Amino acid sequence: MLKVQNLTKDFGKVIAVDNVSFEVKKGEIFGLLGENGAGKTTTLRILATMLKPTSGTAEILGFDVVKNPEKVRLHIGILFGGEAGLYDRLTAAENIAYFGELNDMGKDEINERVKFLAKTFGMEEYIDRRAGKFSKGMKQKVAFARSIIHNPDLMLLDEPTSGLDVSAIRDVHDFILNCKNQGKTVIFSSHTMSEVEKLCDRVCIIHKGKLIDIATIDDLKKKHGDDDLEEIFVRLVGGKNEA
Ligand SMILES: Nc1ncnc2c1ncn2[C@@H]1O[C@H](COP(=O)(O)OP(=O)(O)OP(=O)(O)O)[C@@H](O)[C@H]1O
Ligand SMILES: [Mg+2]
């Protein structure tokens, strides 16, 4: 599904992603774990064809993200937190539907999907209200629904549950698990260990742009002789001032 080889991105002096390689199989839920500034968003932005790597390659379903970005975009849904970018004057439904149109979906197909997503994310009450005055969480749910309107094979989600309430988080978790059941692939970043443990088949721990470890949660626990993922994480990324 996805193959990343020696991926590197530097922003001048800052090496945000440093020679990272990994593969993700179809149907996997793959988590990116790392401290603030570790390079998670940068990695996801490269995979999402929003940013060119300095060197190295990434392929999604055999398509190179730099050489074939249009092909890649047909197969991915992307959600980046903090930049909901909804049209204030459009309703939630219209915001979501607009992305369907951009993805060449038919009207009936779009309507059906909007209904399904409104139900899935508990947005039915406000689906026909203008998005301008929505709360942060409401906006985030609309942005999530919008990013997956075209039912993509691979979802790239940057901190998808950050800022959501308990039941909304649960909706997102259930949705991600359902995607897996349908053979979809999900790559997401998170700072919440319980979320990562609940959802991920495998996790990748990144620190200062470098890949520190990549394994199933069980294997990580066995390998590091600890049952507490948070402990393992803190140990792996080391003290604050370590290189
Ligand atoms: N456009 C940019 N220009 C310059 N530096 C950048 C840019 N984008 C990211 N960086 C730098 O790259 C590094 C990695 O940032 P990134 O946003 O990928 O981290 P992150 O793992 O997503 O962190 P967080 O958990 O805080 O979201 C940081 O040092 C950041 O300052
Ligand atoms: Mg980030």
The rounded distance, in Å, linking the Cα atoms of 8 and 99 is 31
Query: Could you tell me if the CB of 14 is within 6 A of ligand 1?
Result: yes
The rounded distance, in Å, linking the Cα atoms of 22 and 46 is 14
Which domains, and CATH codes, for the chain? 2-84+154-237 (3.40.50.300)
What ligand 1 atom has the least distance to the C-alpha of 206?
Answer: 21
Note down pLDDT in tens along the chain; length 243 residues: 999 999 999 999 999 999 999 999 999 999 999 999 999 999 999 999 999 999 999 999 999 999 999 999 999 999 987 657 899 999 999 999 999 999 999 999 999 999 999 999 899 999 999 999 998 888 988 998 999 999 999 999 999 998 888 988 998 899 899 999 999 999 999 999 999 999 999 999 999 999 999 999 999 999 999 999 999 999 998 765 444
Residues facing residue 89 across a β-bridge: none
Query: Could you tell me if the CB of 38 is within 6 A of ligand 1?
Result: yes
Q: What are phi and psi of 179, to 5 degrees?
A: -60, -45
What ligand 1 atom has the least distance to the C-alpha of 45?
Answer: 18
Query: Could you tell me if the CB of 82 is within 6 A of ligand 1?
Result: no
Which residues, chain by chain, have CB under 5 Å from ion ligand 2?
A: 40-41
- Taking the CA atoms of residue 84, residue 86, residue 92 and residue 98 in that order, the dihedral angle to the nearest 10 degrees is -120
